[in-house]
Amino acid sequence: MLTFNAERHEYKLNGKLIPSVTTILTHAGLSPKAFVTPEGLERGTQAHREISGFLRGYVNQPVSPYASQALKFIKETGAKVLASELKIHCETYLYAGTIDLVTVINGETWVIDFKLNNVYQSTYAQLAAYQSAWYNKHFQNMKKMSRKRGALRLTEKRYQLIDAEGPLRKGHFSEDWSIFIRALDQYNEARGKNANNER
């Protein structure tokens, strides 16, 4: 059973602490978190909260322009939302995370991460980790459907869905997954060394 402590931003699987995808990427120096201001974090938190709240029916109208653009994207693409702010984990590699949006657009299932203003290369490794965990869990139901992953770039005035393997980026899942696995190996190695030093 996966549990999440929002205040500490900690995931536990059957009572055991496991790292988040963003923690793993940050440890490897791949996450842009160091360059994000407190104000930017607050804008992102508000936008995520309003998007999820609207989709779940307890926010009538978003205040954040970023949230408004995300909902405009859903409306204009005719996206069928399968999940929002979905907590997922991978039992094989022991990591967890939160998928911003799982949706079906034109018959294709998308795993989407919201990004305010900027999309970084680490986003695609993050999405590869999310996509792997999601589809491994739902493989029997999803194996006949096209699987996509993308970053939804949100500004105050527009949105842009960047396909992780589309013409704007020309990436590939295996490359992004390899980046994440290397980061995970580094994290686990460092954690193992720390555990040995504490003995």
| Count of domains observed in the chain | 1
Collapsed DSSP state (helix, strand, coil) of residue 171: coil
> Would strands 108-116 and 95-105 be described as parallel, antiparallel, or unpaired?
antiparallel
pLDDT in tens, 153-190: 999 999 999 999 887 776 788 999 999 999 999 999 99
* 75 vs 12: CA distance, rounded Å: 35
Per cent of the chain over pLDDT 70 is 89
Beta-bridge partners for 87: 98
The answer to whether the CB of 41 falls within 8 A of the CB of 129 is no
pLDDT in tens, 47-97: 999 999 999 888 788 889 999 999 999 999 999 999 999 999 999 999 999
C-alpha distances (whole Å) from 1 to each of 15, 16, 23, 82, 100 are: 8, 10, 20, 21, 20
The residue to which tokens 């799982």 are assigned: 102
Q: 65-77 and 38-56 helices cross at what angle (nearest 10)?
A: 40
Alpha helices (runs of H) in the chain, residue ranges in sequence order = 21-27, 38-56, 65-77, 122-137, 139-142, 173-198
* The pTM of the whole model exceeds 0.85: yes
Q: Report the CATH number that the domain containing residue 99 is assigned in CATH.
A: 3.40.1350.10
C-alpha distances (whole Å) from 15 to each of 8, 21, 34, 95, 112 are: 15, 18, 29, 13, 28
The domain of 109 spans 2-198
Beta-bridge partners for 34: none
Tell me 37's DSSP state.
Answer: -
